[in-house]
Structure formats: structure tokens, C-alpha cells
Amino acid sequence: MGRSPCCAKEGLNRGAWTATEDKILTEYIKVHGDGKWRSLPKAAGLKRCGKSCRLRWLNYLRPDIKRGNLTQDEEDLIIRLHRLLGNRSFYVMFS
């Protein structure tokens, strides 16, 4: 039952990503699009696990990620939603 392992875990880079790896991943996704994460590392020439590539793209490299402080309107919306829905529902909405 379940999925087979995505990679052998041997010979893979672990730890912090380098600027070169970030560039390779970004360029590959610009050309081919994101998705098919299990096969992406081999196709892009990265010595990383597909999960690592997916998380790096989604959490750090996507161009539409908003960075920096929240605006006052965003803070007010979060507080209003928290009062209305509480912790549990708030987490589900924004995860």
C-alpha cells in the first residue's frame, strides 16, 4: 500500500539550497511549468528529491509570493476572521 519512494536518497544534496540550484529550478519551471515533481529533479539535472524541489518552489521561489509586512487592512481582515471563525477554521482557510 502507499506510494513507492520518490528517490533512493543516496547521492542527493541535503541542506541549504545554493543560488545555482535555485536558478536551475527556476529556469526549468519557466520553460516546462511546475508539476510532475517526482521526475523534475532528474529532468532538470538537480541532485535533489522531488519533494524538496516542490517545497523550494512553492515556499521561496514563486514570483507571486508576497514578502514583507502585512498592510493594516490585511491585519484587520485576519483579526475579523479569527473572531468570526476561531483558531481551527482560520488555520484551514489559510493553509
What is the C-alpha to C-alpha distance for residues 74 and 94, in angstroms, rounded to an integer? 13
Q: Specify the pLDDT at position 3.
A: 74
pLDDT, tens digit, 9 for 90 and up, residues 9-51:
778 888 999 999 999 999 999 999 998 999 999 999 999 999 9
All domains of the chain, ordered by start, with CATH?
Answer: 15-64 (1.10.10.60), 67-95 (no CATH)
**Alpha carbon distance 88, 55 (integer Å):** 24
- pTM value is 0.70
Cell matching residue 23: 536558478
